Chain A
Amino acid sequence: MNQPATQAAQSDLVELRIPCRPEWVALARLAVAAVSNRLRLSIEEIEDIKLAVTEACTAVIQHDNHGEFIEIACEIDSGSLRLRVHDAGRHVHGAPKNASIDFDEARVAGLGVFLIRTLMDEVTYEVHPDTGTDLHMVKRLPVRSV
């Protein structure tokens, strides 16, 4: 590796494909933690990213899906970490537009998506009829003085 990610003039891409099963979700968050760790993010920011990716993978596993794998792509450019979680299903994980959850009824539906939307700077879904669903998440990289 000739150039640290933190100084990348062009985007770097790291991709991971895991089986669509619960026991592999921990690997996904460890991988994104390792990528995030190269970006001089704070522990809190890294934990946010780990949780968002975990929730994205969990949503795929818990919802009806039509694929054996979940693909996680981490793209790093000078100002952001862009994450894409792809699966072969054609659903939007019940994504609520707002963050209203009725805890009096102890309902937890949508809690994962709520966390994703709260912890990441940008969140969008794309449903492709032929290939499945992409969840795009962006974490903007803070400008830190050296």
Chain B
Amino acid sequence: MDIKVHVREAPGERYVVELTGEIDVYTSPKVKDAVSDLIDRGIYHLVINLENVRYIDSTGLGVLIGGLKRVREHGGTVNLVCSNPQIRKIFDITGLVKIFGIFDNEDAALKALV
């Protein structure tokens, strides 16, 4: 199992981190590195696209929470794209729906960054 990380710029100095695969204790460091790299470059408004993520566990949630915490220190935010009901369920039962903006598509997530 692996995770593919694709970072691309969207209009307005916003960035999208597109993830494909499974996020667990083995693969989450790769996601953390990608998110941390953007934040280190001063990019504090991010969309993380989970549409092609088949699986996420607490280590993956930890990476997302850590990223959100860091960008909020700079007035930024992290919005998520996720329509997979299995993944959404994990955000629901952990209460993370209250701290992340979670959207069904990338356009909506990017618009909400502004």
| CB-contacts of A47-106 with B (<8 A) | 47, 50-51, 54-55, 57-58, 61-62, 101, 103, 106
Given contacts A44-B89, A55-B58, A106-B69, contact A101 B94 (CB under 8 A): yes
Say whether B62 faces chain A, with CB atoms less than 8 Å apart: yes
Contact-residue bracket for chain B: 20 to 34
Which residues of B have CB within 8 Å of A50? 55
B50-72 interface bits toward A, Cβ cutoff 8 Å, 1 = contact, 0 = none: 00000101110110011011000
Given contacts A25-B26, A118-B93, contact A58 B99 (CB under 8 A): no
Q: Are A108 and B1 in contact (CB under 8 A)?
A: no
Which residues of A have CB within 8 Å of B95? 101, 103
Say whether B22 faces chain A, with CB atoms less than 8 Å apart: yes
Question: Which residue of chain A is the closest to B66 with respect to CB atoms?
Answer: A106
Say whether A130 faces chain B, with CB atoms less than 8 Å apart: no
Which residues of A have CB within 8 Å of B55? 29, 50-51
Which residues of B have CB within 8 Å of A61? 25
Q: Are B59 and A58 in contact (CB under 8 A)?
A: yes
Given contacts A103-B65, A108-B62, contact A115 B22 (CB under 8 A): no
A61 to B26, CA, bound (A): 10
Which residues of A have CB within 8 Å of B99? 103, 106
Q: Are B22 and A26 in contact (CB under 8 A)?
A: yes
A25-58 interface bits toward B, Cβ cutoff 8 Å, 1 = contact, 0 = none: 1100100000000000001100100110011011
A119 to B65, CA, bound (A): 21
A111 to B61, CA, bound (A): 9
26 A-B contacts, Cβ less than 8 Å apart? A22-B24, A23-B26, A25-B25, A25-B26, A26-B22, A26-B24, A26-B26, A44-B85, A47-B86, A50-B55, A51-B55, A51-B90, A55-B57, A58-B25, A58-B57, A58-B58, A61-B25, A62-B25, A103-B95, A103-B99, A108-B62, A108-B65, A112-B59, A115-B90, A115-B94, A119-B93
Residues of A within 8 A of B (CB): 22-23, 25-26, 29, 43-44, 47, 50-51, 54-55, 57-58, 61-62, 101, 103, 106, 108, 111-112, 114-115, 118-119
